[in-house]
Amino acid sequence: MSGRVEGSMAGGGSAVSRVVIYGLLLVFAAIFLTPLFVMLITSLKSLDEIRDGNMLSLPQSPTIAPWLSAWGTACIGLTCNGIKGYFGNSIMMVVPAVAISTILGSLNGFVLTKFRFPGHKLIFALMLFACFIPFQAVLIPVARVLGMVGLGNSIGGLILVHVVYGLGFTTLFFRNYYEAFPTELIRAAMIDGAGFFQIFRRILLPASGPIIIVTVIFQFTNIWNDFLFGSSFASGDGVPMTVALNNLVNTSTGVKEYNVDMAAAMIAALPTLLVYVVAGRYFVRGLMAGAVKG
């Protein structure tokens, strides 16, 4: 993605074809942006304005009342405390899950690239395939086991699940990155008497900045956006943001407050959008690393 900015074709062409190309690209950009745009302007309108006005027209008298209501007083199920509690649930779930899965992934990547023992290829293959299973194939046993060990409907249970099913990806990321790391450096440190963790902390970690960012962003986005695990293993006040948002939007009692729905959706989107805007380059690298190995 990065690197050369200019196109690989010589470019140029007639002025007409340039206009057509730019026109097409801008039309697509408009289509891609429309849902976000509609969400944003609707979240700033009053209900009357939504009812009488046009979906695509800008708010006449912008109001942040829907945002305040979504955050603090909107009703989800029987409780009317807005989405702030669920936002907190997601934060409490995401931070430890991302940290633990990233740390384990980096250690695993180190072991799998710089040490040899019987079966290391099989171990990696099994961890790699684990990235791709449809989670439906483990949903029932996970629900049973979480219930048995007392982690059913708890943030702790969700953290455990996200760490376990994220390990394959984090290990894959670090393994591919460390493979290019000069083994001679590690060999030299070993001869000098450095131990496993010393080498990891002093030599490997300082050189791991980019892959740590890629992994953290990938995991953060995936876990924050997860819906299947959240809706399967949590309920009531313990559900993460995405599940609460879905419940809010599908609540059918009373007047449908579209502006509040949209404001809640915007709030749910903000953390990942923020990460994307600030570090989009790394987000793309993570997606590609998960898609095209090697």
Closest Cα to residue 37, out of 51, 52, 57?
A: 57
How many Cβ atoms from other residues are within 10 Å of residue 231's Cβ? 15
Site residues for other proteins, window 41-70 (CB under 8 A)? 42, 54-56
Amino acid at 142: V
Which CB sits closer to other proteins, 78 or 191? 191
Site for other proteins in 5-44 (CB under 8 A): 5-13, 18, 21-22, 24-25, 28-29, 31-36, 38-39, 42
Stretch that binds other proteins, among 65-73, 74-82, 140-148, 204-212 (CB under 8 A): 140-148
Residue from 76, 97, 262, 289 touching other proteins (CB under 8 A): that is 262
289 is an interface residue for other proteins by CB under 8 A:
no
Map the footprint of other proteins across residues 74-93, applying CB under 8 A. none
Q: Taking CB under 8 A as the rule, does residue 108 contact other proteins?
A: yes
Shortest distance, position 91 Cβ to other proteins, whole Å: 15
Site string for other proteins, 161-200 (x = CB under 8 A): ---xx-xx--x-----------x--xx--xx-x-xxx---
Q: Note whether 107 binds other proteins by CB under 8 A.
A: yes
Sites for other proteins among residues 264-283 (CB under 8 A): 265-266, 268-269, 272-273, 275-277, 280, 283
| Residue 147 interacts with other proteins (CB under 8 A): yes or no | no
Q: Angle 59-62-66 (CA atoms, 0-180°, nearest 5)? A: 105
Tokens describing residue 58: 């800008």
> Quick check: 294 binds other proteins (CB under 8 A)?
yes
**Stretch near other proteins under the rule CB under 8 A, chosen from 60-68, 74-82, 159-167, 203-211:** 159-167
Beta carbons within 10 angstroms of residue 37's beta carbon: 14
Structure tokens at 243: 């599940």
Q: 47-53 long-range CB contacts below 8 Å, 24 or more apart?
A: 47/255, 47/257, 47/258, 47/259, 50/258, 50/259
207 near other proteins, rule: CB under 8 A:
no
What x-and-dash track marks residues 220-239 binding other proteins by CB under 8 A? -x--xxxxx---x-------
Question: 3-class SS at 154?
Answer: coil
Cross-strand bridge partners of residue 79: 76
The CA-atom distances, in angstroms, between 225 and each of 49, 164, 221, 250, 293 are: 31, 17, 6, 18, 23
